[in-house]
Homo-oligomer: A and B are copies of this chain.
Amino acid sequence: MAVRIDDLDRKILVELQADGGQSLDDIAKSVGSSKTPVWNRIRKMRDAGVIKHQTYLLDAEALGFEACFFVLIRTSEHDASWQQAFLKALQDRPEVQEAHRLAGDIDYILKVRVKNARAYDTFYQALISEVKVHNVTALLSMEEIKSTTSLPL
Query: Could you tell me which A residues sit within 8 Å of B by CB distance?
Result: 1-3, 5, 13, 16-21, 48-65, 68, 70, 87, 90-91, 94-104, 106, 108-109, 113, 139-153
A-B contact sample (15 more), CB < 8 A, given A19-B55, A103-B139, A104-B139:
A5-B63, A13-B56, A20-B54, A51-B58, A55-B57, A63-B151, A63-B153, A70-B70, A91-B146, A97-B148, A100-B141, A100-B143, A101-B145, A102-B142, A109-B139
Compute how far the CA of A11 lies from the CA of B145 in the bound complex, rounded to whole angstroms: 29
Q: Is the CB of B65 within 8 A of A100?
A: no
> Which residues does chain B contribute within 8 Å of A20, judged by CB atoms?
20, 53-56
Q: Helix, strand, loop or mixed for chain A's interface?
A: mixed
Q: Is the CB of A104 within 8 A of B146?
A: no
- Select A51's contact among B56, B91, B96, B104, beta carbons within 8 Å: B56
- Select A55's contact among B1, B55, B94, beta carbons within 8 Å: B55
